[in-house]
A and B are shown apart, each in its own frame.
Chain A
Amino acid sequence: MESVIRNRHITRELNRREGADAPLMNLTQAKVNTEYVIKEIRTNDKELKDFLFTLGCYEGETVTVISVLADNYIISVKDARYSIDKDLTNVIII
């Protein structure tokens, strides 16, 4: 019984670590048509971060890449479509 609990504990700990060590992906590496949860908006540009927030693009929310058009990515956030450029796609960590 005790070992089971210990095991669970270990697994949880491992999961946590894996989460920390797993290479973070940004949205450019996302598969098209797959829903991802945003982990972080990684930028020093406060204004940009705030603007993305007002669109509903912030950590914990879901995002889907609809198409990749050269340097622009068409993404679906909340219920709208946006075209964002590659630099911006890079700051969205999933």
Chain B
Amino acid sequence: MSAGENIRVALAGNPNSGKTTLFNALTGRLEHVGNWAGVTIEKKEGELKKSLNKTNKNITVVDLPGAYSMSPFTSEESITSDYVRNEKPDVIINIVDATNLSRSLFFTTQLLELEVSVVVALNKSDLTKKKKTRIDVKMLSELLGCPIVETVSTKSSDNGLEELVSTVISVKSNKQVAPFDSKGMNASERSSVEAYDKKRYEFVKEIVSKVEHRQISSNKQTRQDAADRILAHKWLGIPIFAAIMWMVFSISQVYLGPLLADILGGWIDAFYAWVEGLLGEGVSPVLSAILLDGIIGGVGAVVGFLPLIMVLFFLLALLEDCGYMARVAVVMDRFFKKVGLSGKSIIPMIIGTGCGVPGIMATRTIKNDRQRRTTAMLTPFMPCGAKLPIIALFAGVFFDDAAWVGTAMYFMAIGIIIVGALLIQRITGDKHTRSFFIMELPEYRFPSIKRATISMFSRAKAFIIKAGTIILLSNAIVQIMQTFDWKFQVVAEGAESTSILASIASPFAILLIPLGFGAWQLAAASITGFIAKENVVGTLAVVYGITNFIDTEEFVLMSDGVGVAGALGLTSVAALAYLMFNLFTPPCFAAIGAMNSEMEDRKWLWGGIAFQFSMGYVVAFITYHIGTLTTAGFVGTGFIPGLIVVAAMIGYVAYLVKRGNEKAERKLAHSV
């Protein structure tokens, strides 16, 4: 073997067998992991960590999405089989879940036929011991004809990884003989494939009966099953989920988050003062305003929320890691199915709580076009990481950091998704299509603090990078547009409404009057939100000249004696309406781009965007007017024109639903 040789190692295995965890351990990368099936959607590549690579070769590791089978006709997980077949990696590490040999080895025997060297990583080997299951690894290795290394990819030491790597290097050029003979199979004929697959299962069963010694049969009731009956209970499931989310929000926004945010806020203030001092008196006020209020103030306002978001991401990562999310999917399925969504629609939405873009991309695994497009259209309603600063800001300023605001926004999003799906199902006239739901329930485990910390920091890093690039640029531009009028004259104090920003945003502001927030500043913030949702907070900071939203004293008392709430000039009800408007209008351009590529249809894309706009508008309208009516006893300003707009939107949707129903009846008549 020559120096500098390249070795490509592919990781393949069943969903939730721990491929990405192993990938991260091998490469030192920080890809997102979760204790449920289907977290990885696309293949990812990384170089083997220096500390594990004792050779001078370049070893590239490729993480593939989980697959149960490579049989023709199961196109379900085609990325994996296409990669292995077409790109021919040098070695495949087949990650086998040691707790479920009888299913996993089916895929293993298929991989062994590919004429690529295979090393089996018998993962989760710590769990088998706990279950009093003994596996004769030596015999298994002999029966399969390939080397096997026991691994525990979740542990940071004594995890079998070094042995795995050295086995991979040593095995590189010796291809194994496939233990199961499928030469007679006719891959183009369904019945032949089915017959051989059955034989293959028989073959696997025989191996398992030889090497596995279980003391406790896997179909016996366990404490985990008892936990499922409560956590995924018909009626208890949702209140439990709500209580957990409420706890997550109260820790991140009321207790721990603000504590950390105060410290960070102090640093930002100090930095602001330091730069201000550095600039001195001689610098032009315009330049210093762009630098101080635009860049440091705007970006600082967004970054100020970082601690809150980090705590939230940490807690969400713990939830994902312990296996609870799969149970949430089970609880939600009941509602999702009634509105014609696929059981798989839940996964994009859970991913969407981090960022909408990968969430929308996760819809790719949904086969049915309507279900996939509907899910791609509705996933952005989930409050993503970028929307959290907006929630945190409004919860802090108007609702005294109440944890219910965030919780309510999540459930509001779920409600909107269900209503939206129902409408789309009716509009498309597809209400007689049935969908099936099947979800593997991973075992509960104690969540790992380390993994949650890693996940938190990698998301925080992405957040900071975004703040330092897109958001910095946006805020600088907003500041410039606010400082100058169309003649490029500096706007005089008191004449802010003549600025470029004000004149662009004002026409939009008129449309927002019926929603309770017709100020051009608020309209401008919503518009910049389409570039990145964090911009809503950043722009508000810039246009109102607020540097630090987190500082509790500043909430109450700003320089001119009014609180932030006063500066924004909103009632609590209007603030809530504005918050919802920003959460439930179309997402940022990046997410719209993702919608475009997953929907693959212009009509759906524009329909989707129009739908999202209408939804945000209607929700904000209803919130503002019903809220004002109950708190003040009269409807808010602009009720009548707003009502006309909302009625027109609802009327049009109703017309589409009626047309869709007719289509459905015709379809049904045809099929009978």
Contact = CB atoms under 8 A, between A and B. Distances in A.
A72 B232 contact: yes
A76 B216 CA distance: 14
B229 A69 contact: yes
Contacts of B508: none
Interface string A63-94: 01011011110101011111111011000000
B228 A67 contact: yes
A80 B103 contact: yes
Contacts of A56: 102-103, 106, 201
A22 to B, nearest CB: 24
Nearest to A76: B219
A58 B330 contact: no
Interface string B217-228: 011010011001
A83 B73 contact: no
A64 B219 contact: yes
How many A residues are at the interface, by size bracket?
35 or more
Interface stretch (B113-121, B280-288, B431-439, B469-477): B431-439
Contacts of B225: 66-67, 74, 81
Contact of B99 (A35, A62, A79): A79
A45 B69 CA distance: 18
Interface in A25-60: 33, 35, 45-48, 50-56, 58, 60
Contacts of A48: 436
Contacts of A83: 232, 326, 329-330, 333, 437-439, 441
Contact of B234 (A46, A53, A69): A69
A81 B441 contact: yes
Contacts of B99: 79
A85 B219 contact: no
Contacts of B76: 47, 50-51, 54
B68 interface: yes
A78 B106 CA distance: 11
How many B residues are at the interface, by size bracket?
35 or more
A85 B333 contact: yes
The CB with the most chain A CB atoms within 10 A, among B334, B436, B437, is that of B436
Given A56-B102, A72-B333, A79-B103, A85 B234 contact: no
B439 A82 contact: yes
Contacts of A53: 69, 74, 194, 197
Nearest to A50: B74
A29 B522 CA distance: 58
Contacts of A51: 68, 74, 76, 438
Contacts of A70: 233-234, 334
Contacts of A87: 434, 436
A81 B433 CA distance: 27
B662 interface: no
Nearest to A46: B73
B666 interface: no
A54 B68 contact: yes
B219 A35 contact: yes
Contact of A71 (B73, B102, B219, B334): B334
Interface string B83-103: 000000000000000011111
Contact of B73 (A50, A62, A67, A72): A50
Nearest to B73: A50
B43 interface: no
Interface string A7-39: 000000000000000000000000001010000
B74 A54 contact: yes
B73 to A, nearest CB: 5
B600 interface: no
B233 A78 contact: no
B71 A82 contact: no
Contacts of A58: 198, 201
Nearest to A59: B198
Nearest to B204: A56
Contacts of B440: 80-82
Contacts of B608: none
Nearest to B202: A60
B343 interface: yes
A79 B101 contact: yes
A46 B367 CA distance: 13
B71 A54 contact: yes
A70 B221 CA distance: 18
Contacts of B232: 69, 72, 74, 83
A75 to B, nearest CB: 9
A72 B330 contact: yes
A80 to B, nearest CB: 5
B581 to A, nearest CB: 35
The CB with the most chain B CB atoms within 10 A, among A58, A81, A82, A84, is that of A81
Given A71-B334, A74-B232, A81-B440, 7 more contacts: A47-B367, A51-B68, A54-B106, A66-B219, A74-B228, A76-B219, A85-B333
29 contacts: A45-B436, A47-B76, A47-B367, A48-B436, A50-B73, A51-B438, A52-B438, A54-B68, A54-B74, A54-B76, A54-B106, A66-B219, A66-B228, A67-B228, A69-B232, A69-B233, A70-B234, A70-B334, A72-B334, A74-B225, A76-B218, A79-B100, A79-B102, A80-B103, A81-B441, A82-B438, A83-B333, A84-B437, A85-B437
Interface of A: 33, 35, 45-48, 50-56, 58, 60-62, 64, 66-67, 69-72, 74, 76, 78-85, 87-88
Closest 4 CB pairs of A and B: A70-B234, A54-B68, A64-B219, A54-B69
